[in-house]
Structure 1
Amino acid sequence: MPTTVEKHRTTRGSWTAAAYRIDAATPPHRDRAADALRAIAIAGVVLGHWLVTAFVDTGDGLGVRSPLAGMPAFTPVSWVLQTLAVFFLVGGYSGALSLRGGEVPYGTWVRARMGRLFRPALVLLGAWAAAISVLTWAGLDLGTLRSMVKLVFSPLWFLVVYAALTALTPAVAALWRRTRWSGLALLVGLVATVDAGRFAGDGPAWLGWTNILAGWLVPYFLGVAWAHGAFKGRRTAYALLVGGVSATVALVLAAGYPASMVGVPGAAVSNLNPPTLAAVAFGLAQVGLALLIREPLGRVMRRPGLWAAVAFANLSAMTVFLWHQTAMMTVTVSLRSAGALPGLHTAPDHPLWVLERLAWLPAFALLLALLHAVFHRFEHRVGTAGRTTSGP
């Protein structure tokens, strides 16, 4: 029988061989840096949710708490892990790039993209509809069930916005061709106007939700501009980075916007729900940084092992996004009977909690891997020739 060392070598050799096959099968024109940026964005969303979402006993079941509320010093984590602007940037880039050739009719193109977005989402909704019935029958308290359902379904706003912008890709491309950089100023100005009416003009709270499309259209517009050759040099990317950072700092320090780039339970204003001018400015900085690192990132992606990992992450992006909260909650709720486990059920109000939560991340990741094994097949469609296909 093979020894443990021999098994390890065999496993390692199999992965290396698979990585080289994936590398060899990748078309030469594939923008590996863009795929790497998408993988980084998804990783940021997952780690961000796992680190800033805690379940504590409220007397009416488990309720959601955030370490950002009790530990303001934890705020910089939101600057690193709130990566949605990068995801919209790459979405605009890949969408516009795939349409520029004109080889696929718009109707066919948009149906394929909508299918990849909503097919796995419908599976998630169906699975959770069944889970809610089972958990209710099993006697799970309504407070805990309410918290779980809210966490599962609340990120789905992202899919609706992303789908709308994807469908509008030809219009966004036309806007770029017609207006160039004045189009970016127009979009940022629209967000600023809504914020002015909402905060300075004491407008109704619902007014902010008009920014949910305009705010995320800013990085999507820049992705479309990237696909049309807007960032051949580095000067514009530096301008976006420096200007975005400067504007964000000014808005936080002088205009009273929250420093956290994600929502904090109990806070009067969230930069994310709906997106504020501060979130848009921060997104501009993220876009600038992403564009500055794309060339070195592309060179790193020439390593077969790293590229294979990124390619796998891109093929699984929607499954990971949709099920990562379920993985975290399943671990948390299933271990509730063991008592208030540190980092899992305890209040996130002291620095040690962060280390305790980090220790649980492998358990979340393991369950997410199991959920991925079950549900990733719904992310892709089977083409007429019987092969699995997906969008770029």
Structure 2
Amino acid sequence: MAIIPAPRRSARPALPLTAVPTIAVPVAPAPTTRDGAIDLVRASCVAAVVALHALMVGVTVDASGPVFANAAEGASWFAPLTWVLQVMPLFFVVGGFAGATAFRRRRARGGTRAEFVAGRVQRLLVPAVVVVGVVGAALAALAMAGVPADLVDVAGWRFAQPLWFLGVFLLCQALLPVLLVAHERRPLTTIGALAAAAVVVDLARAATGVEAIGILNLAFVWLALQQIGFFLADGRIDALRRRTRVLVLGGAVAALAASFAGGIYSHDLIANLNPPTTALLIVGVAQSAAFSLLRDRLDSLSRSRRIAGFTRFVTERTMTIYLWHMPVLLAMAGASALFALSTGIALPEPSSAAWWVTRPVWLAAALILTAVVACALAGVERRRMPRPAASVALVPRAVALGIGAVVLLLVVGTTAVTAAIAVTMMLVALRWSSERRAADHHQHGGEHDAGEQADQPIDRA
């Protein structure tokens, strides 16, 4: 991706750039107001994730009872849909933009890297503790109510699947201060190294046939995408000539098409998600270029009353919506099965004409119910935690423990027992994120950051 623009006149002042990537680049001053285009894109990404997962829910009833399946599996309509609704690359780019902006503001006030990361631990794990605890209790209640064990297990696995984002995003945010400094010193080298590592992992995976190697790209792909967000925050992408951005967009799309045609990557972009492949990095480049090209229009659109209301609603509840949309969908699936069993009315087969006729109502119900739950529980996400710790010893442990809790649920599955263990791990991580050791407190005793509340006008993820 070309990132060094030729001089030109632009509505946005171009930053003075260095032609040598080993020299520190000037840093754009952190804005003091929200970026309407960024907020709108992030809110739209969250809504797209909910819609995509809602379309993947397949519920039928046969002679043996309810059958819960992935409605998209083997469906010809799904792969093209992922070209529009696979928004996770863009979400991580936007997360890099927001994180860089928030950290620079904190750093300008004298805050530390440890305080920034501790704040991210709190922001992500507080709502996670609630949802994991409630789901664990619900699974225990279902088991005690006599629901077949296999259905309870399916519900636990389905709930855990989207939690990969929580663990990976926490990792990316924890490494953000270090990688942002590296970006400010050697931007091309840093992103080039991450992208090259992602390619090497894909090559090694293909050459050996060992799928587990791809797990390494849970770091390299998403960190590289976050790094693109730093360029966006610097204003370097918007400073490129429009023609250059169009060429980047076209080149990325052409590269994706060639990889699909050559059988290098699956044309189903969700299939490239677990584990992530370099295809998602190419998608992120295309989405970033498209966003930059449309940014002025998106900014204008974000000012309309209805769009601003939607954006504000989602922005204030981002993690709550993401974490709770799957329990909502599982509850809807269970209610559908109970309705069919009690009335004898057959549920439409996934991908059938009758199924598609009912999808608008299903999608509307999923979005509305998720919004209702988010309204009820948004106070948890906005809860004021103790001031983030400055302990350089405890914060990394908090991050590791939080990620470990997510890994437990993903690998072992969500049950009443694993949920209880994960909640305990997260609570300890939260305790560490707000605890100061005596030496740290003495060292930073006179340094009082304005706290996470001051970051909220810029960042809510």
Question: Unpaired runs of 5+ in structure 1?
Answer: 1-26, 263-269
Partner of 1:13: none
The Cα shift of 1:285 comes to 1.2
For 1:115, what is the secondary structure of its paired residue?
Answer: helix
Aligned counterpart in structure 1 of residue 226 of structure 2, from 220, 223, 240: 220
TM-score using structure 1 length? 0.83
Superposed CA offset, 1:62-112 (max 9, x none): 33223351x313321111111111111111111111122311332322222
Q: Does 1:242 align with 2:250?
A: yes
The Cα shift of 1:181 comes to 3.0
The Cα shift of 1:132 comes to 0.9
For 2:103, what is the secondary structure of its paired residue?
Answer: helix
Q: Does 1:322 align with 2:300?
A: no
The Cα shift of 1:383 comes to 6.7
Mapped contact 2:266–2:272 kept (Cα < 8 A): yes
Say if 1:296 and 1:121 are closer, same or farther in 2 by CA, change over 3 A: same
Partner of 1:338: 339
Say if 1:173 and 1:52 are closer, same or farther in 2 by CA, change over 3 A: same
Say if 1:388 and 1:207 are closer, same or farther in 2 by CA, change over 3 A: closer
Mapped contact 2:51–2:367 kept (Cα < 8 A): no
Mapped contact 1:194–1:207 kept (Cα < 8 A): yes
The Cα shift of 1:137 comes to 1.0
The Cα shift of 1:224 comes to 1.3
Match runs of 1:12-23 below 5 Å? none
Mapped contact 2:61–2:346 kept (Cα < 8 A): no
| 2: CA distance, partners of 1:305 / 1:190 | 43
Mapped contact 1:62–1:143 kept (Cα < 8 A): no
One-letter amino acid matched to 2:39: D
Partner of 1:280: 281
| 2: CA distance, partners of 1:342 / 1:355 | 20
Q: Does 1:42 align with 2:39?
A: no
Say if 1:252 and 1:336 are closer, same or farther in 2 by CA, change over 3 A: same
Partner of 1:65: 70
Partner of 2:375: 373
Aligned length: 356
Question: Unpaired runs of 5+ in structure 2?
Answer: 1-30, 388-450
Say if 1:383 and 1:160 are closer, same or farther in 2 by CA, change over 3 A: closer
The Cα shift of 1:184 comes to 3.0
Partner of 1:12: none
Q: Does 1:86 align with 2:98?
A: no
Mapped contact 2:43–2:311 kept (Cα < 8 A): yes
Structure 1 segments (4+ residues) deviating >6 Å:
340-344
| 2: CA distance, partners of 1:241 / 1:342 | 51
Partner of 2:163: 156
One-letter amino acid matched to 2:363: L
For 2:265, what is the secondary structure of its paired residue?
Answer: coil
Partner of 1:99: 103
Partner of 1:14: none
Partner of 1:357: 359
| Bigger Cα displacement from structure 2, 350-359 vs 151-160 | 350-359
Partner of 1:18: none
Say if 1:370 and 1:301 are closer, same or farther in 2 by CA, change over 3 A: closer
Bigger RCO of structures 1 and 2 (CA < 8 A, at least 6 apart):
2
Superposed CA offset, 1:303-328 (max 9, x none): 34422321221011111101111112
One-letter amino acid matched to 1:323: W
| 2: CA distance, partners of 1:333 / 1:121 | 22
Partner of 1:76: 80
Mapped contact 1:219–1:287 kept (Cα < 8 A): no
Say if 1:344 and 1:109 are closer, same or farther in 2 by CA, change over 3 A: farther
CA RMSD, aligned part only? 2.7
One-letter amino acid matched to 1:131: A
For 1:221, what is the secondary structure of its paired residue?
Answer: helix
Mapped contact 1:64–1:147 kept (Cα < 8 A): no
One-letter amino acid matched to 2:308: W
TM-score using structure 2 length? 0.71
Richer in helix (by share): 1
One-letter amino acid matched to 2:302: M
Aligned counterpart in structure 2 of residue 181 of structure 1, from 188, 192, 203: 188
Q: Does 1:137 align with 2:130?
A: no
